[in-house]
């Protein structure tokens, strides 16, 4: 039997891909996920370390709220 990938397809990004878009590191993205600033799903199913995927919509929401927070501080 051939294993089937449980990774979501389509508009989902890895932490590395999100890091490139926001100009940070994958570690920083994982910290944003841990603190709840970016919504993500864990596709590891409890097998070892988490393997996060972030939807395009979740990234857009993070960027929208981050921009708002930056403008609010200025």
User: What would the pLDDT profile of 43-69 be if each residue is shown by its tens digit?
Assistant: 997 778 899 999 999 999 999 988 765
Q: What value does the mean pLDDT take over residues 7-17?
A: 83
Which of these, 73, 62, 59, lies nearest to 13 by C-alpha position? 59
pLDDT for residue 2: 46
Q: Tokens 């993205």 label which residue?
A: 29
pLDDT for residue 27: 97
Task: Enter the pTM of the model.
Answer: 0.76
Q: Identify the bridge partners of residue 55 per DSSP, sorted by sequence position.
A: 12
Question: Could you give phi then psi for residue 27, rounded to 5 degrees?
Answer: -60, -45
Question: Could you give phi then psi for residue 13, rounded to 5 degrees?
Answer: -120, 155
Instruction: Give the model confidence (pLDDT) of 16-33 as tens digits.
Output: 999 999 999 999 999 999
């Amino acid at each position: 039997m051939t294993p089937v990938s449980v990774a979501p397809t389509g508009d989902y990004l890895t932490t590395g891909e999100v890091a490139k878009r926001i100009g940070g590191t994958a570690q920083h993205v994982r910290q944003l996920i841990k603190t709840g600033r970016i919504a993500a799903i864990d596709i590891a199913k409890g097998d070892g370390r988490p393997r996060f995927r972030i939807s395009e919509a979740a990234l857009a929401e993070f960027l929208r709220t981050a921009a708002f927070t930056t403008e609010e501080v200025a």
